[in-house]
Amino acid sequence: MGPPNPLDFYDVTALLSDDERLIRDTVGRFVDREVTPLMADCFAAERFPSELVPRLADLGLFGATLHDYGCAGLGSTAYGVICEELERGDSSVRSCVSVQSSLVMGAIHAFGSEDQRSRWLPQLARGTKLGCFGLTESHGGSDPARMRTRARRHGGDWVLDGAKHWITNGALADVSVTWAMTDDGVKAFLVEKGAGGYEARVIKNKLSLRASSTAELAFASVRVPDSARLPEANGIKAALRCLDDARFGIAWGACGAARACLDSVLQYTQSRELFGRPLNHTQLIQTRLADGVRKLTAAQLVAWRLAKLKEQGVAHNAQVSLAKWNNVRAALDIARDCRDMLGAAGITLDHVPMRHMLNLETVITYEGTESIHELVVGRALTGQSAF
Ligand code: FAD
C-alpha cells in the first residue's frame, strides 16, 4: 500500500457515493480546463468571467440542491463537492454560484410565492438571469438586524429607500433579493434591474476577490408591487437561514482553495534545488507541508460530517459557524505558508497561492466574520450571546 494522497489524506473520496464522485470529477475537469486557465488574467484585470455562466448552468450548478423548477435536487454533499472544485479554481466563481444558488434561488424557493418560484427559478437555473443578495449595509455588516434600508407601504405598492454595500454580482444581477425594514419587521423584496431609482455601482480597486463583481446598491424611492415581496420572508432569521446554507458551501470551498495551494507547493518544492538538494528534502519544508496537510485533512472531515448532519436535517447553526471559521482560517493559513515556500516567485500570478490567499481575506470576512462565528460557537457553549 502506497502513502496516502497528500490532498485527500484520510480518503474522504471513499466516503462519497458514486454519483457524488462523478459530480466531483465532472466539475473538477471543467475547473481544470475552463476555469483555472482564465483566473490569473481575470484577477489582474478585475474582471468576472461572465462567459462561464452558461457553462455553469449547463453543468446544473445553479440551485443544484433545490427540487423542481429545472434544478437538480442534489444532496448537501454533492453541493459541497461542487463548491470545493469551483473554489479550487477561484473563490470568485464559487462565490457567484453560492450567491445564485443559496442566497437568491434558495430565498425564492423557501420564501417565495408559487408565481415567483415559477417565474424566476427556471431562468436562474439556466443562467439566463443572475441574482444578488442585498443584506449588508456600509454601517455594519455584522449587525444586519439594524439595517437602515426602509420599505414603506404606498397603497398596493412598497417604496424602498436606502443602500446596500459589498454586494456580490450586484452590477450583473437582473434581480436583487433586497432585505429592508418595514413597520412590521424585516422583509425581502425582488427588485429588478431597471426599476426607477434603483442603481448598482461597481466597487473598484479591491485587493481581494478581484475576479468577482462587487457593487453598492442604491434605492431612491424604488416602487415595487406587493407581488415583489417574498411572502414567507419574515424577520432577520429568514436572511440568516439562507446565509447558513451559503456558509456550508464556503466550508467546502475553502478546502478547494487549500488543495490548489498545497498542490502547487508540493510540486514546486520537489523541483526547486537549493543547497544542492531538492527543497522538499529539508526538515523545515517537510514540517510545513505536513502542517498544511494536517489542517486540510481536518477541514475536509469537518466539511464532510457537516454535510451528513445537513442531509439528516440536524445541522445546528453553531456547527455551520465552526466549519466556516475553522475551514477558512485553515485555508488562509495554508495559502500564506504556501506563498512563502515559493519565495519571490510566490508573489506573482504565475503561482496560485497568493491569489487564493488574497481571495480568502474576503472569504474569512463575508457571510459572517471569523470573530462573529467564534461568538456564535461561544453562545452555543455558554448559552450567553456576547454580541
Ligand atoms: P463590521 O461588521 O464593521 O466588522 C468590523 C470588525 O469588527 C470585524 O473584524 C468583525 O469581526 C468585528 N466585530 C463586529 N462585531 C463584533 C463584536 N460584537 N465583537 C467583536 N468583534 C466584532 N453582503 C451581502 O449582503 N451580500 C453579498 O453578496 C456580499 N458580498 C460580499 C463580497 C465581498 C467581496 C465582501 C468583502 C463582502 C461582501 N458582503 C456581502 C458583506 C459581508 O458579509 C460583510 O462585509 C461582513 O458581514 C462584515 O461586515 P462589515 O464589513 O461591515 O464589518
Q: How far is the CA of 247 from the centre of ligand 1 (A)?
A: 14
Q: Is 136 in the pocket of ligand 1 (CB under 6 A)?
A: yes
b/e string for 264-303 if b means 16 or more Cβ within 10 A?
A: bbbebbeebeeeeeebbeeeebeebbeebbebbbebbebb
Give me the pLDDT at residue 22, please: 98
Q: Name the band, by pLDDT with cuts 50, 70 and 90, for residue 218.
A: very high
Question: What is the band of 293 on the pLDDT scale with cuts at 50, 70, 90?
Answer: very high
pLDDT digits (tens, 9 = 90+) for 8-54: 999 999 999 999 999 999 999 999 999 999 999 999 999 999 999 99
Average pLDDT over residues 88-110: 98
Ligand 1 proximity of 99 Cβ (cutoff 6 Å): yes
Q: What is the pLDDT of residue 287?
A: 98
For the record, the C-alpha cell of 49 comes out as: 468571467
pLDDT in tens, 319-356: 999 999 999 999 999 999 999 999 999 999 999 999 99
Mean pLDDT for the stretch of residues 93-104: 98
Decide if 367 is catalytic.
yes
Query: Rounded to whole angstroms, what are the CA distances from 64 to 70, 81, 99, 125?
Result: 9, 11, 12, 8
Ligand 1 neighbourhood includes 138 CB (under 6 angstroms): no
pLDDT score at 321: 98
Q: What is the reported pLDDT for 244?
A: 94
Q: What is the pLDDT of residue 302?
A: 98
Q: Which atom, in ligand 1's list, is nearest to the CA of 170?
A: 28
- State the pLDDT at residue 195: 98
The protein residue whose alpha carbon is closest to atom 43 in ligand 1 is 366
Is residue 379 a contact partner of residue 318, using CB atoms and an 8 Å limit?
Answer: yes
**Which helix (H) or strand (E) covers residue 165, if one does?**
strand 157-168
Ligand 1 within 6 A of 214 CB? yes
